[in-house]
Amino acid sequence: MTEAKGLKKEVKLKKDLAAFLGANELPRTEITKRLWDYIKNNKLQTKTANGKPENAGKFIVADAKLLTIFKNTKSTSKSGKVTDLTNLKEGQTIDMMQMAAVVSANIED
């Protein structure tokens, strides 16, 4: 059997994400899928920044459970864009494009 590579390779999850997803290791694709399943099942999307949940849109509303993993996120992308969610409060939103930074911040290097 060949070893999985890239996005299909299993990565070690940090404590908060492991508790959230109920697993210690998962491929990035599965991490993202499970996070989106949670967001959709709990209707945590909105069309406006810091808007009320309306189950559609490009913003993700942080509930208490998501906040535990969102708050671990402080990173700088290759283009120099800083994603700092350490002061995010429950009910505030993140742009769905920040999900990659959230995943990266919650896995071991």
Q: What are phi and psi of 60, to 5 degrees?
A: -110, 125
Overall domain count for the chain: 1
Residue 3, domain member (yes or no):
no
- Give the pLDDT confidence of 30-46 residue by residue, as tens digits: 999 999 999 999 999 99
In Å, what is the CA distance from 99 to each residue of 1, 2, 52, 60, 96?
31, 29, 19, 9, 6
Residue 1, domain member (yes or no):
no
What is the predicted pLDDT for the residue at 3?
66
For 39, which DSSP code? Answer: H
Residue 42, domain member (yes or no):
yes
Residue 58, domain member (yes or no):
yes
Question: 87: domain range?
Answer: 8-105
What is the predicted pLDDT for the residue at 10?
94
